[in-house]
Amino acid sequence: EAGVAQSPRYKIIEKRQSVAFWCNPISGHATLYWYQQILGQGPKLLIQFQNNGVVDDSQLPKDRFSAERLKGVDSTLKIQPAKLEDSAVYLCASSNPGQSYEQYFGPGTRLTVT
């Protein structure tokens, strides 16, 4: 089966600009996650969707970050305006908790804010 797809793989922007990331989860996975991974750290949850509803966005900086999962499949994560501290890898993951708790991760998008 195809894995989790993410694009772009790399993005360089200047601070105060906006950026969007796209994720296509594994087919049939109802749960989708966005994690932020700063260099040298473990992934940190930003937002979790169950189908097209938000389960947890408590750690999402809502003044600048937004995410949506229209139709319960693909998802986009947007940052506007970006700050230097947003430089990180943004990982998308999906899972099918009805079968297993393991999460399947995409390759990530490496964002550099200058």
Partner 1 sequence: SQKIEQNSEALNIQEGKTATLTCNYTNYSPAYLQWYRQDPGRGPVFLLLIRENEKEKRKERLKVTFDTTLKQSLFHITASQPADSATYLCALDTNSGYALNFGKGTSLLVTP
Extract the runs of DSSP E, i.e. beta strands, from 1-114: 5-7, 10-13, 19-24, 31-37, 44-50, 53-56, 65-68, 75-79, 88-95, 104-105, 109-113
Task: Report how far residue 23's alpha carbon sits from residue 41's, in angstroms, rounded to the nearest whole number.
Answer: 22
Among residues 51 and 80, whose Cβ is nearest to partner 1? 51
Q: Does 51 bind partner 1 (CB under 8 A)?
A: no
Contact 30, 55 (CB under 8 A): no
- Entry field: residues in the chain: 114
Q: Does 113 bind partner 1 (CB under 8 A)?
A: no
Instruction: Identify the CA nearest to 19 among candidates 77, 89, 87.
Output: 77
How far apart are CB 41 and partner 1 at their closest, in Å? Answer: 6
Q: Does 108 bind partner 1 (CB under 8 A)?
A: yes
For partner 1, the binding residues in 70-99 under the rule CB under 8 A are: 91, 93, 95, 97
Mark residues 16-35: x for contact with partner 1 by CB under 8 A, - for none: ---------------x-x-x
Helix (H, G, I), strand (E, B) or coil at 39: coil
How many residues belong to the site for partner 1 (CB under 8 A)?
A: 28
Residue numbers of the site for partner 1 (CB under 8 A)? 4, 31, 33, 35, 40-45, 48, 50, 55-56, 58, 91, 93, 95, 97, 100-108
